[in-house]
Structure 1
Amino acid sequence: MALKDSDVRDATKRAKDYKLADGGGLHLPVRPNGSKLWLMKYRFAGKEKLLSFGHYPEVCLAAALLLRAEAKVCLGAGQGSGRPSRLAKPKMTFEAVARAWHETRIASLNPGHAARLLRRLERDAFPALVDRDLRAITSADVLAMIRVVEACGAFDVSRRIKQHVSQIYRFAIPHGRADQDPAAYLSDLLKPEPRVRHMARVGISELSGVVRAIDTYDGDHNPCRRGP
């Protein structure tokens, strides 16, 4: 289960060591003296290893999640230390940072909404930006991705995707993983939504079904788009 800021902040010292686990090997041992040190357990070349990211609160939960994402990128590039090499620093991909950002949001969102948000990224953003270096993505790249969504008539989703990209960059920039938000100036370039067409009156027998549909709708359904 994903950790929340409050879980980490409110973890008090006990008579014996205990740990808070987040997933992906990331955990936070809490010592009897109150010390909290971020660690990541992983395996490389068949051997179990441990990587330290620093003490809380100097390293907050969001920073620890980004460091875990960076470590996984390094391991995927064959760097067994899990740390960037001075000679071959791996790129921080959009997907790695986006998934770290999404994990910070899970605790504050309705589970269904959190799942739809991730599905939206996986369907619309990752195919275009998945392996791209976060620093190398341009406004033109983001706009091209949005145009594909607009071409299916999903204008509400195109705005949500643009918003998500900005939120991901605002998450990454303070931690030194990006310098600017390429989606920041795209609002005026998005295509306007078509005028609302009011439908016929709904009968009382159909009302409950309509209410349920409205409650679960987030603009994603379109017959020409991939996935549910």
Structure 2
Amino acid sequence: MSLTDTAVRQAKPIEKARRLADALGLYVEISPAGGKWWRWKYRFGGKEKRLALGTYPEVSLAEARNERDKARALLKAGTDPSAARKLGKARSSISTEANFEGVAREWHTMKATGWAESHASTTIARLEKDVFPWIGKRPIREIDPPELLVVLRRVEERLAIETAHRLREICGQVFRYAISTDRATRNAAADLQGTLQTAASGHHAAITDPVQVAELVRNMRGYRGSPVVRTALQFSALTFQRPGEVRAATWSEIDLDAGLWTIPAARMKRGLKEKLNGQPHLVPLSTQAVKLLRELHPLTGHRGGDGCVFPGERGEGRPLSENGVRMALRTLGYDNETMTPHGFRAMARTILDEVLKERVEYIEAQLAHTVKDPLGRAYNRTTFLPERIAMMQRWADFLDALAQGVKLKAA
């Protein structure tokens, strides 16, 4: 049943805030103090949201309905009305001679609606830390390549070479956006192509020689740091999932009896659409991996299903820090050019393929890479689960044999 202007005007406040519904998600919220606020309820990206449409009587019922209909049109076109409003405010607050930070934040607001939350927060954090303090207030039209290079050199000086390259790419996107909105005429980042230091390798450092892997496994088992980090080290080698996925694992994702780790789609390295609607990634756990977790459970499993499998030292509600496993490897004598947490993936990928002769599609599925059939169609992510269960057990047995000095024949 729709509202009338009379009903809104005569509505009286009560002790608690209340709502009077109109139609198509529009309602007026009446506060205990008597204020009347127009709101529109909608869903975007699987989440329920609210859009403020002004106060009554400054905004009449007819005007509120008109604003609702405009927002519904945006939603129908695939745009989040709340994000569109923020973008509009950002644009109106920036002059033609806009500064770099203003344009960058406007660009970020626009792009973030289609990004995963983690990627959006990481991108703006990089700009806030390494770019805005130096050129944020500078008119973007006046920034030239040498000025931007000075900013990126500061990042290089702390040996964050990959971060410097990533920042150049981000700044390039900001400049392109500024050009398209007539607030710059030159992409200073594009002119810096080839001027930054080259990273030592385009891949994460990894040990792939079986003899060296044997030594690595023995060293990890003898690690004298915390049992949480020692288990995380060995678990990383046994499952070879991405470091962030390992660190953030919760006990609710682990089925020890079934020997299965179910990583939610939202935690996987995927596009926003896949994170919201994709299938979870199933990771078979070998008997060795299950044994490790059973031994760890008395230490970290008492918080229940939502508790971290590998909590950090500063609080069990937070996962192991990003550098936890990396620093453990350093303690064991492996520098960043020899072995990294991400390197466990390359280690497994190489040996499973070249030494154990496992089928590539099984390996790629286990790595959570897109796997396609001969017709180019992507396999379901649960495909090959029985085969991967067997493969993961062979992998764990192989690591055990290496650590014990047993020489195995290739399959």
Range into which the TM-score falls when normalised by the shorter chain = 0.5 to 0.7
Aligned length: 168
Trace 1:210-225 onto structure 2 (pairs within 5 A): 211-213=241-243
Q: Deviations over 1:115-160 (max 9, x none)?
A: 1111111111111111010101111111111111111111111111
Matched, 1:208 2:235: yes
Matched, 1:95 2:125: no
User: Residues 62, 179 of structure 1: CA spacing in aligned structure 2 closer, same or farther, 3 A cutoff?
Assistant: farther
Q: Deviations over 1:80-106 (max 9, x none)?
A: xxxx6xxxxx73111111111111222
Equivalent AA in structure 2 for residue 72 of structure 1:
S
Trace 1:2-151 onto structure 2 (pairs within 5 A): 31=66, 68-73=89-94, 91-151=97-157
Trace 1:142-181 onto structure 2 (pairs within 5 A): 142-181=148-187
Equivalent AA in structure 2 for residue 31 of structure 1:
N
Equivalent AA in structure 2 for residue 208 of structure 1:
F
Offset, 1:208: 3.5
Offset, 1:175: 1.4
Greater share of helix residues, 1 or 2? 2
User: Residues 156, 63 of structure 1: CA spacing in aligned structure 2 closer, same or farther, 3 A cutoff?
Assistant: same
Contact kept, 8 Å, 1:62 with 1:104, in 2: the verdict is: yes
User: Residues 131, 66 of structure 1: CA spacing in aligned structure 2 closer, same or farther, 3 A cutoff?
Assistant: farther
Equivalent AA in structure 1 for residue 243 of structure 2:
A
Residue 381 of structure 2 corresponds to which residue in structure 1?
Answer: none
Larger gyration radius, structure 1 or structure 2: 2
User: Residues 32, 190 of structure 1: CA spacing in aligned structure 2 closer, same or farther, 3 A cutoff?
Assistant: closer
User: Residues 103, 91 of structure 1: CA spacing in aligned structure 2 closer, same or farther, 3 A cutoff?
Assistant: same
Offset, 1:183: 0.7
Percent identity between matched residues is 24
Whole-Å Cα distance in 1 between the matches of residues 104 and 133 of structure 2? 13
Contact kept, 8 Å, 1:166 with 1:183, in 2: the verdict is: yes
Whole-Å Cα distance in 2 between the matches of residues 175 and 63 of structure 1? 16
Equivalent AA in structure 2 for residue 69 of structure 1:
A
Secondary structure (helix, strand or coil) at the match of 1:31 reads helix
Whole-Å Cα distance in 1 between the matches of residues 235 and 88 of structure 2? 46
Q: Deviations over 1:1-46 (max 9, x none)?
A: xxxxxxxxxxxxx6979769789x9xxx77289557xxxxxxxxxx
Secondary structure (helix, strand or coil) at the match of 2:198 reads coil
Tell me the TM-score normalised to structure 1 length: 0.57
Whole-Å Cα distance in 1 between the matches of residues 170 and 179 of structure 2? 14
User: Residues 31, 139 of structure 1: CA spacing in aligned structure 2 closer, same or farther, 3 A cutoff?
Assistant: same
Tell me the TM-score normalised to structure 2 length: 0.34
Equivalent AA in structure 2 for residue 135 of structure 1:
R
Whole-Å Cα distance in 1 between the matches of residues 126 and 143 of structure 2? 19
Contact kept, 8 Å, 2:155 with 2:164, in 1: the verdict is: yes
What is the root-mean-square deviation in Å for CA atoms of aligned residues?
A: 4.1
Offset, 1:69: 2.7
Contact kept, 8 Å, 1:92 with 1:133, in 2: the verdict is: yes
